[in-house]
Amino acid sequence: MTKSLTRTHDPAARSFVESAGRPGGDFPIQNLPFGVFARRGRNEAERIGVAIGDQIVDLNRAAGQGLLAALEPEIQSALAARTLNPLLSMGRPAGRLVRERLFDLLCEDGPSRGQVVDCLVPMETAELMLPAVIGDYSDFYASIHHATNVGSMFRPENPLLPNYKYVPIGYHGRSSSIVVSGAPVKRPMGQIKGDQTTAPVFGPSRSLDYECEIGALISGGNPRGTEIPIGEAEQHIFGLSLLNDWSARDIQAWEYQPLGPFLAKNFATTVSPWVITMDALAPFRVPAYDRPADDPDPLPYLFSEADRRSGGVGITVEVYLRTSRMRADGIAATRLSQASFATMYWTLAQLVTHHASNGCNLRPGDLIGSGTISGPAKDNRGCLLELTWRGNEPLTLPTGEVRRFLLDGDEVSIRGYCEREGAVRIGFGECRGVIETA
């Protein structure tokens, strides 16, 4: 795993883009996340961009002005595409070269400043798209705190099933219903059976929930029938985004046995538009989850000393809720939870390695979800199922409104950031969606 720091992580570095240096901002020059956008009202094709402060570097235009001529022709060609997939197919090293070139161009003493300024697009004038064509999507269950909480609701005497500490639990989701932040989410219909009823009914979900997660975008990939060794797994992760795997808990409760999630989760999954590269996250790597002494060791294919030492990522994730009444009254969103991605039981490398361990071929643009991020405290719980304990402990909002699960008009936003002493804070932007009536 490559986690060495370079000039692109220098906390003293500054960009001539003034907004990139604002305290608490998400996109300083040490971040430089990739995305796809189009300028509103221009009737132009989507293009690849990189966020810097409140601006986007139009890489198509930058290439046209010769600013990326130092890069290999194949990389320049990939940057002229309408999605990140061609760049993802070249692997992480290609993204690293682009990041380093842009860092040099955007520095306060960088060359060709006038030309670079001509390539900047104000973020407020841009429509942000899905960063890649996502061929496949798999979601995991990597938080032991989330798994224990959910298990406690249904199996108080034995919350964790026997396989949890041996195998990263996951399921294959639906890529066709993945949407970018800001897209509305229609309340799903489905079969629902109450505890006191003898037969199910078909209707709108009454227990709609969010799940605060991190999504990993795959680069490179592996041929079908081959594996991805644990020591190589992170080279197949281009970067991370915020992810909300919306869940209809009442539909899920009726359908999940014996094969697991289906219609309760395939109606919508929201991802944030900016992909924070693994290279940008290098200063924020932390040890993997410290397993108790009586927990089993990972099986050999899931273990490497390097992953144990620094396989975690110190990302803080927060969930905010704003009801339609709060918006009408001008009341800011209220924070429901805050948790750390560093508390996940399974690392990203372990998820990738396990996914491919049976010869499954991962492809550039595939998306892997971490599963709900929850911690040991109540305010670390990453979904309403946990926060309200299956609806039995409702939340009271600043307006006096009560929530067990989401109502129509509710807006959920997930935010994420990394910060530590000696490094510049970087952020993930926002992953947002508003619930519409079924």
Neighbouring C-alpha atoms within 13 Å toward the C-beta of 13? 23
Which of 9, 145, 146, 354 is an active site residue?
Answer: 146
For residue 88, which phi and psi values (nearest 5 degrees)?
-60, -35
| Whole-angstrom distance, CA of residue 332 vs CA of residue 322 | 7
Enter the tokens of residue 155: 């199996």
| Whole-angstrom distance, CA of residue 182 vs CA of residue 284 | 28
**At 319, which helix (H) or strand (E)?**
strand 316-322
SS (H, E, C) 166-210: CCCCEEECCHHHEEECCCCEECCEEEECCCCCCCCEEEECCCEEC
Tell me the H-state helices in 31-139.
59-64, 73-79, 85-89, 92-106, 113-117
Contact yes or no for 103/31 (Cβ under 8 A)? no
Our answer to whether residue 145 is catalytic in this structure is no
DSSP, res 301: G
| Whole-angstrom distance, CA of residue 68 vs CA of residue 313 | 31
Q: What's the Cα-to-Cα distance from 51 to each of 165, 290, 292, 327, rounded to whole Å? A: 38, 34, 40, 28
Contact yes or no for 289/386 (Cβ under 8 A)? no
Residues 6+ apart with CB under 8 A from 23: none
3-state SS, residue 248: strand
* Residue count (the chain): 438
For residue 368, which phi and psi values (nearest 5 degrees)?
-120, 125
Contact yes or no for 231/306 (Cβ under 8 A)? yes
Amino acid at 437: T
Enter the tokens of residue 171: 């399921």
Enter the tokens of residue 313: 């990522």
| Whole-angstrom distance, CA of residue 56 vs CA of residue 325 | 33
E strands, 200-315, in order: 201-204, 208-209, 212-218, 237-245, 247-248, 269-271, 276-277, 285-286, 312-313
The tokens 């309408």 sit on which residue? 82
Where in the sequence numbering do the catalytic residues fall? 146
